[in-house]
Amino acid sequence: MNRRHLIALLIGGSAAGGAVRLARAAAPGEIEIQASKFDFTPDTVKVKRGETITLVLTSIDRIHGFKMPDFGIRTDIIPDEERRVTLTPDRAGSFVFFCDVFCGDGHEEMSGTLVVDG
Amino acid sequence: MQHTDRRDFLKLAGLAGVTFTAGLFPGLKASAQMAGDFHFVQISDTHWGYKGPANPDAEHTLEKAIATVNGLSNKPDFIVFTGDLTHTTEDGAERRARMKRFKEIVSALNVKDVRFMPGEHDAALDKGVAFKEFFGATHYTFDHKGVHFVALDNVSDPGAKLGDEQLAWLAADLKQRKPDDRIVVLTHRPLFDLVPSWDWTTADGAKAIDLLMPYTNVVVFYGHIHQEHHHMTGHIAHHAAKSLIFPQAAPGTQPRRPPPPPFDASLKPLGTRDVAMSSTVTMTELPVTKG
């Protein structure tokens, strides 16, 4: 319950009209993560505890998933769309995120780490 | 058949590995008489088509395992493959070629009642289309000597879900069972959250467990994690089997799931499993031996 209060989670397409192309610099507090077979770029994201961030997730090839169980986050990542996940990490540490939509040989290695400095 | 008898005949056959006995059906008294005790063999995660350093003998491991199973002095009543029959490929023609060759190889089993289930490597990229062409339905039930078997598909959805339709099917099937019926669930991925950060779970597996929970005599056999593992959710036991391709790290030993460790045959990391069922379950691991 405590985590729910501390983490504001927003998942969804950023434009009601549908597809959004990414061709801009990330806004303050935004961190862009690009998914492709079989990597997240970047695969390590460093933030500070208590800092509110928005992960802007895109895919360049096919549907992937983004799941970070420690913060109860998951969403599909669909080509030509961006998915935005906002959270405020309430604890320091390293937290795994990974693709949870089977995407081929190499899927099982498609993961990354959110590093929260205390 | 008594537990000790099974162990003895396996030893006589020179095949016995570690034997594990669990209270299979907690709702039954140990002295309860079954309609007919029997045993079956679980084979999992053969990954036919894999080539890599995690198993330098990948082309022959399946054949060796079949020789082991065929060498059992007491034939199992049936054999079940709990998924990842083939290693994944994005080429649909190659996927079918692997399934065709897999089927040819396992036709050497001297037990002809063989049940197949998909793993994500077989079914997630085409939602089970090729698997169905070669092996039939991806979820089904059958009954054997008074035990009701339910094969669940948590892999054809690439998001590792059973899905509402299959859950409704399961609920309808279970409504026909009595609370103390013996029920064995077969599946590929763990239905419970074994290690969520390694994706060792089923997205909606908890819903299936909730449906099963009112039944007092339920056990689950699964694969996916390439190692023997035993876990309880309430009174329901979940038993994972070894693979026939390469071992995986022990659950949760690192934050991120590591790649398979270097192959070490001395650890006997690969094998199949004999499951003897009476009022208890006796699982005997059958390591892959020289063919």
With CA atoms as reference, the chain B residue closest to A65 would be B159
Whether the per-residue pLDDT at B10 is higher than 50: the answer is no
With CA atoms as reference, the chain A residue closest to B161 would be A101
- Please report the DSSP string for B127-191 in residue order: TTHHHHHHH--SSEEEEETTEEEEE---SSSTT----HHHHHHHHHHHHTS-TT-EEEEE-SS-S
CB–CB contact B255 A69 (8 Å): no
Region B92-120: mean pLDDT is 98
| Cα B84 to Cα B44: distance, rounded to the nearest angstrom | 7
Confidence (pTM): 0.87
| Cα B210 to Cα A16: distance, rounded to the nearest angstrom | 37
Q: Which domains does chain A have, with CATH numbers?
A: 2-16+28-117 (2.60.40.420)
Q: Contacts of residue A63 in chain B, CB cutoff 8 Å?
A: 158
Q: Contacts of residue A109 in chain B, CB cutoff 8 Å?
A: 259
Q: Does A62 touch chain B (CB under 8 A)?
A: no
**Looking at the partner chain, which of B125, B196, B256 has a beta carbon nearest the beta carbon of A111?**
B256
Q: Is B195 left (phi over 0), alpha (psi -120 to 50) or beta?
A: beta
CA distance B219 to chain A (A): 26
Would you tell me how many other CB atoms lie within 10 Å of the CB of residue B290?
8
Q: Contacts of residue B88 in chain A, CB cutoff 8 Å?
A: 102, 104-105, 107
Region B171-180: mean pLDDT is 97
b/e for A95-116, b at 16 or more Cβ within 10 A?
bbbbbbbbbbbebbebbbbbeb
Counting Cβ atoms within 10 Å, is residue A31 exposed (0-12), middle (13-18) or buried (19+)? middle
CA distance A6 to chain B (A): 21
Q: Which of A64, A102, A111 to mutate to test the interface with B (most CBs of B within 10 A)?
A: A102
Indicate the helix (H) or strand (E) that contains B212: helix B205-212
Whether the per-residue pLDDT at B224 is higher than 60: the answer is yes
Residue type, B61: T
Residue type, A43: D
Region B1-17: mean pLDDT is 37
Region B193-220: mean pLDDT is 97
With CA atoms as reference, the chain B residue closest to A101 would be B159
Per DSSP bridges, beta strands B78-82 and B114-117 are parallel
CB–CB contact B89 A65 (8 Å): no
| Cα B67 to Cα B78: distance, rounded to the nearest angstrom | 15
Indicate the helix (H) or strand (E) that contains A48: strand A44-48
| Cα B170 to Cα B149: distance, rounded to the nearest angstrom | 11
**Per-domain residue ranges of chain B:** 42-274
CB–CB contact A69 B89 (8 Å): no
**pLDDT value at position A74?**
96
**pLDDT value at position B246?**
95
Residue from B196, B189, B194, B203 nearest B138 by CA? B189
Measured CB to CB, residues of chain B less than 8 Å from chain A are 87-90, 120, 124-125, 155, 158-160, 196-197, 199, 203, 255-257, 259
CB–CB contact A102 B90 (8 Å): no
**pLDDT value at position B20?**
65
**pLDDT value at position B7?**
44
Written as six digits, the tokens of B38 are 């029997």
Phi/psi for B164 (5° steps) reads -65, -35
Q: Establish how many alpha carbons lie within 13 A of residue B13's alpha carbon, considering only the half-sphere containing its beta carbon.
A: 22
Q: Does A59 touch chain B (CB under 8 A)?
A: no
Angle at CA of residue A66, ends B210 and A43, nearest 5°: 140
When pLDDT is cut at 50, 70 and 90, the band that residue A102 belongs to is very high
pLDDT in tens, B37-92: 999 999 999 999 999 989 999 999 999 999 999 999 999 999 999 999 999 999 99
Three-state DSSP class for residue B9 = helix
When pLDDT is cut at 50, 70 and 90, the band that residue A16 belongs to is very low
Residue B237, CA distances (Å) to B21, B152, B219, B263 in order: 12, 16, 5, 30
| Cα B256 to Cα A98: distance, rounded to the nearest angstrom | 9
Its CATH class, for the domain covering B42-274, is: alpha beta
Angle between the B92-106 and B58-70 helix axes, to the nearest 10 degrees?
30
**Looking at the partner chain, which of B160, B196, B255 has a beta carbon nearest the beta carbon of A94?**
B255
**pLDDT value at position B243?**
97
pLDDT in tens, B238-263: 999 999 999 999 999 999 999 888 88
Provide, rounded to the nearest whole percent, the portion of chain A with pLDDT above 70.
Answer: 78
Q: Does A69 touch chain B (CB under 8 A)?
A: yes
| Cα B134 to Cα B187: distance, rounded to the nearest angstrom | 18
- Asked if B241 and B255 touch (Cβ cutoff 8 Å), the reply is no
| Cα A30 to Cα B9: distance, rounded to the nearest angstrom | 65
Indicate the helix (H) or strand (E) that contains B225: none
Region A72-96: mean pLDDT is 97
CA gyration radius, chain B: 18
CA distance B156 to chain A (A): 10
Provide, rounded to the nearest whole percent, the portion of chain B with pLDDT above 70.
Answer: 87
Phi/psi for B15 (5° steps) reads -120, -10
Window from A13-17, A107-111, B274-278 with minimum mean pLDDT? A13-17
CB–CB contact B255 A108 (8 Å): no
* Sequence-distant contacts of A17-21: CB under 8 A, at least 24 apart: A18/A81, A19/A80, A19/A81, A20/A80, A20/A81, A20/A82, A21/A80
Indicate the helix (H) or strand (E) that contains B67: helix B58-70
pLDDT in tens, A35-70: 999 999 999 999 999 999 999 999 999 999 999 999
When pLDDT is cut at 50, 70 and 90, the band that residue B158 belongs to is very high
Counted across chains A and B, CB pairs separated by less than 8 A come out at 44
Whether the per-residue pLDDT at B35 is higher than 70: the answer is no
When pLDDT is cut at 50, 70 and 90, the band that residue B265 belongs to is confident
When pLDDT is cut at 50, 70 and 90, the band that residue A18 belongs to is very low
When pLDDT is cut at 50, 70 and 90, the band that residue A20 belongs to is very low
Residue B28, CA distances (Å) to B85, B159, B186 in order: 34, 37, 21
Q: Contacts of residue A40 in chain B, CB cutoff 8 Å?
A: none
Provide, rounded to the nearest whole percent, the portion of chain B with pLDDT above 90.
Answer: 80
